[in-house]
Amino acid sequence: MGNTKEAIGMSSSVEWRIQVDDGSKEILVPESKNGFQRFLAALKGLIVNFTLKICNFFKKAWKIGVDDPRKVAHCLRVGVALCVVSLFYYMRPLYEGVGGNAIWAVMTVVVVFEYTVGATLYKSLNRICATGLAGFLAIGIHWVASQSGTKIEPFILGASVFLLASAATFSKFIPVVKARFDYGVTIFILTFSLVSVSGYRVEKLIDMAHQRLATIIIGTALCMVVAMVVYPIWAGEELHFLIIRNMDKVSDSLDCCVAVYFKADEANPNSDEACSKNLEAYKSALNSKGSEDAMANFARWEPAHGLFSFNHPWKQYLKVSSALRNCAYCIEALNSCLYAENNSNSCDIIKELALTIKTMTRSSTIDMSVIKLNDSVQLLHENLKSLSTLLIPEEGPQNTTDENEHKEPVLTVSLIEVIPLVSFASLLIDIAGRVEGLVQAVEGLAKLADFKPAAEEKPGLKSVN
Amino acid sequence: MGNTKEAIGMSSSVEWRIQVDDGSKEILVPESKNGFQRFLAALKGLIVNFTLKICNFFKKAWKIGVDDPRKVAHCLRVGVALCVVSLFYYMRPLYEGVGGNAIWAVMTVVVVFEYTVGATLYKSLNRICATGLAGFLAIGIHWVASQSGTKIEPFILGASVFLLASAATFSKFIPVVKARFDYGVTIFILTFSLVSVSGYRVEKLIDMAHQRLATIIIGTALCMVVAMVVYPIWAGEELHFLIIRNMDKVSDSLDCCVAVYFKADEANPNSDEACSKNLEAYKSALNSKGSEDAMANFARWEPAHGLFSFNHPWKQYLKVSSALRNCAYCIEALNSCLYAENNSNSCDIIKELALTIKTMTRSSTIDMSVIKLNDSVQLLHENLKSLSTLLIPEEGPQNTTDENEHKEPVLTVSLIEVIPLVSFASLLIDIAGRVEGLVQAVEGLAKLADFKPAAEEKPGLKSVN
């Protein structure tokens, strides 16, 4: 453990010196300099390095802004909304109108204003409803508690907070609640605790609850209006175009895949470059499930806009994208046909790798298993070869020894019958290649996490669940 | 549109009546009842229906709790933490110690306490740092503004809020900031706005900022201690075991896939049932990318625990899971070999479907394209067949007409050479089947969203980006 850390520390300091040299080439560091000069040079290097990093950061940020100006627009909208809500502080009549509780309106704007209209509406409506409901409940329970004497009062209040907070937290684990009311539940717990607990000290509880609700409604209303009027970004539209883009990408990938496969022998470097970019395009369809789910969730809070009615079937978009991902999986398989690294016992190896991670020990047998895997791939190859000799008895390129087999009626096996077997076998061979990738990843983990070698007595390939 | 809604309304009312009969069988609704009786029966049905739904909800919730008791434990922890922090209200010395600002501590506990230790630490540390930084900045700007006269003061304050809120919001679009400091940026905007704006009215600004920071530190410290001491749930451990479980599932699926393929002819319904469940198991590996990313993000905030050191390479787990997904994609392809629906022009069809969604019109040519797709699949089949006749010139089961071709030297083509071609072709055929699934999904969308039929002049298959 200690050794590893030291080694990492050493290598990073070496790397750091190289970067210093890289960043400030004008300084030639002499061998015979004193400690203070060394310190100065190092300091200068650090500063240059830091400045370079800051510059890179700003370059990246600038690129994000140029690539999608709507993101910049969103930031300006947030600034505008905050300034407008600040007016409640700066103008005396407004300030006194909400009884000095303008702070809640500012808070609401900061927390509720999101990138898309749908997300803003989701949070706004959740916040209003949850605040209203929780305030109502808390005042009711406070009234009951205040009727039962000052000694029991804190216990009733404490028990109600405990029970309701636990129950509400639990409800977040229910998928439907999580998807639609996650934020609302948090706000419910928050408001209930605040009103219920501060009811013990604050005299005018109803006034406070009422003002809190009023300021929250002001804040959310402002957010909803700004989100929908100033340069609106609709979650539904985003989802719509994301799925269209992904479909185009999958289609381009498939196109390229076929083109590359049939032109593999012709050398055409120009089209190849464009193609290799397109070949990877389908991956964006594989990776966008999370954002699609979120957008479909937000889209249903949005009113009718543009081409989309209020009841637009956003759920169906998820089915479309799921079907599209199904296609993309297959392109994944096709792609691996293109870059076939032909090298199966695959499932045993995966089990053993799981065991390696579970016990956090380096398996001593994994190398043997990989050799076995390669052997069985070899066997599979041999089998396919012998199958091919069965199909072509004369003029076959192989010199087979068992000549008597060639005379058997197996000759009537047609290629069309063995196609499923052949493609299955080649996919098995392909999986073996991927398993080797998995082996490498796990070995990288074992190295970085400093797994101990396994004890001599091998624990066997029992289930690791 | 109107028609569709009416139809839906009708069918749902029919369904509802059936459910009423289901729920309360003792009531035989006579044909000759009057309006009031009808109303009563409907009301009773509604209540029974509602009760059934509530019961179902609680059954589901109960099942969630029984399946994973740690979720229940988490809810109780939240309740305990809230009750402990409430003591600041109930006990006078504590209440006066934080100058009556105990409300911020309660709020912090509600907002910061998350399911895993990592998530709680992430939010806690982000909240403390962001509050400190923002408060410091806001007080500095407030001091500058107060020196420049009462007329300019609100403008300086407003401009600073606008600029900093916009910049901070923009920083959330930078992936690194989003992954590590998303919550911190929100809290930064919140605190800066609150302190800066209320500085215009509140006299003892420094006291307020100081008390806010103190109460937040109290709240977060409480959360961190409870999260780490009372029945801790570590994000790292969760990630570790999730990946192990997924590996087992992928391995089981692969095992079953091979078993089913080679035993497809033997009838063994018992093992088949267990297998068909296992066959689908790999899908959990495909769908867990989002939660794995989140957990790896949280895990790096966690201190050393159990078998994991502080520097445990959580990033590498993501590489392992990515390699595992690669295997799972392939099993996806293998699986479709098992349930081959052999029915390619695939990319054109996907493009056309994208156009359908983009223009929101039902394509009039999609049926033709599907026919063309099926024709080309047929052609591919024919080609494979003729390939097979080339390989087996004598005793082939096909009666071919062009006998002269059989004498050509193509006969020396060995099966091993055509394997990549054959498996590629069969995957193409397979993709065609998936594209049909996509067609169905898009058609479902067109139906539900009430797309108009496309205009007669077909817009052509131009790029739809």
**pLDDT digits 0-9 by tens, A23-48:** 444 444 445 567 888 889 999 999 99
| Residue B117 domain-assigned (yes or no) | yes
pLDDT at A257 (0 to 100): 72
CB of B343 less than 8 A from some CB of A: no
DSSP string, B287-353: H-HHHHHHHHHHHTTS--BTTB-TT--HHHHHHHHHHHHHHHHHHHHHHHHHT------HHHHHHHH
Q: How far apart are CA B463 and CA A255, in angstroms?
A: 13
On the CB side of B137, how many CA atoms lie within 13 Å of its CA? 19
CB of A306 less than 8 A from some CB of B: no
The verdict on A266 and A328 lying in the same domain is: yes
pLDDT at A345 (0 to 100): 61
CB of A111 less than 8 A from some CB of B: yes
List phi, psi (to 5°) of A109. Answer: -60, -45
Q: How far apart are CA B364 and CA A323, in angstroms?
A: 21
Cα separations in angstroms, A37 against A26, A42, A185 = 15, 8, 60
pLDDT at A385 (0 to 100): 66
> B346 or A103: whose pLDDT is higher?
A103
| Residue A427 domain-assigned (yes or no) | yes
pLDDT at A44 (0 to 100): 92
Band of the pLDDT at A49, cuts 50, 70, 90? very high
Give B-chain residues touching A258 at CB under 8 angstroms. Answer: 428
The verdict on B62 and B90 lying in the same domain is: no
Structure-block tokens of residue B135: 């408060």
The verdict on B246 and B225 lying in the same domain is: no
Locate the chain A residue with the closest alpha carbon to B448: A313
| Residue A45 domain-assigned (yes or no) | yes
> A109 or B341: whose pLDDT is higher?
A109
Yes or no, beta carbons of B329 and A332 under 8 Å apart: yes
The verdict on A120 and A210 lying in the same domain is: yes
pLDDT at A19 (0 to 100): 41
The verdict on A216 and A254 lying in the same domain is: no
Locate the chain A residue with the closest alpha carbon to B434: A327
pLDDT at B463 (0 to 100): 40
The verdict on B23 and B113 lying in the same domain is: no
**CATH number, domain containing residue A440:** 1.20.58
Yes or no, beta carbons of A255 and B388 under 8 Å apart: no
The verdict on B284 and B197 lying in the same domain is: no
Residue pair A165/A193 in contact by the 8 Å Cβ criterion: yes
| Residue B459 domain-assigned (yes or no) | no
Q: Which domain holds residue B104?
A: 69-229
pLDDT at A327 (0 to 100): 75
Give A-chain residues touching B311 at CB under 8 angstroms. Answer: 5
On the CB side of A372, how many CA atoms lie within 13 Å of its CA? 10
| Residue A457 domain-assigned (yes or no) | no
The verdict on A265 and A385 lying in the same domain is: yes
The verdict on B263 and B217 lying in the same domain is: no
CB of A84 less than 8 A from some CB of B: no
| Residue B35 domain-assigned (yes or no) | no
Strand partners, B362: B453
CB of B387 less than 8 A from some CB of A: yes
Tens digit of each residue's pLDDT (9 = 90 or more) over A200-213: 666 677 887 888 88
| Residue B417 domain-assigned (yes or no) | yes
CA distance A28 to chain B (A): 35
Yes or no, beta carbons of B244 and A340 under 8 Å apart: no
Give chain B's domain count. 3
Sequence-distant (6+) residues with CB within 8 A of B222 are B81, B84, B85, B105, B109
Sign for the CA dihedral angle at A303, A304, A307, A312 comes to positive
Q: Is the pLDDT of residue A99 over 80?
A: no
pLDDT at A337 (0 to 100): 58
Residue pair A157/A99 in contact by the 8 Å Cβ criterion: no
CB of A284 less than 8 A from some CB of B: no
The verdict on B55 and B73 lying in the same domain is: no
On the CB side of B133, how many CA atoms lie within 13 Å of its CA? 15
Tens digit of each residue's pLDDT (9 = 90 or more) over A221-251: 999 999 999 889 999 989 988 988 888 888 7
Among A205, A229, A253, the domain boundary falls at A229
Cβ count within 10 A of residue A290: 14
pLDDT at B340 (0 to 100): 46
Amino acid at B342: N
The verdict on B148 and B96 lying in the same domain is: yes
Among B229, B264, B283, the domain boundary falls at B229
What size, in residues, is chain A?
465
| Residue B461 domain-assigned (yes or no) | no
**pTM: predicted TM-score of the whole model, two decimal places:** 0.74
The verdict on A252 and A184 lying in the same domain is: no
Give A-chain residues touching B392 at CB under 8 angstroms. Answer: 391-392, 411-415
Q: What is the mean pLDDT, run by run of 10 residues, along chain B of 465 residues?
A: 38 38 43 77 92 90 89 91 84 71 86 93 94 90 85 85 92 89 93 82 76 88 91 90 85 75 54 69 84 90 84 82 78 64 57 70 73 75 64 43 41 57 68 71 73 57 39
Cβ count within 10 A of residue B378: 12
Closest CA to A1 of A442, A363, A449, A445: A449
Q: Is the pLDDT of residue A460 over 60?
A: no
Q: Is the pLDDT of residue A180 over 60?
A: yes
Band of the pLDDT at A264, cuts 50, 70, 90? low
CB of A40 less than 8 A from some CB of B: no
CB of B48 less than 8 A from some CB of A: no
Band of the pLDDT at A14, cuts 50, 70, 90? very low
Among A203, A229, A255, the domain boundary falls at A229
Closest CA to A146 of A208, A206, A214: A206
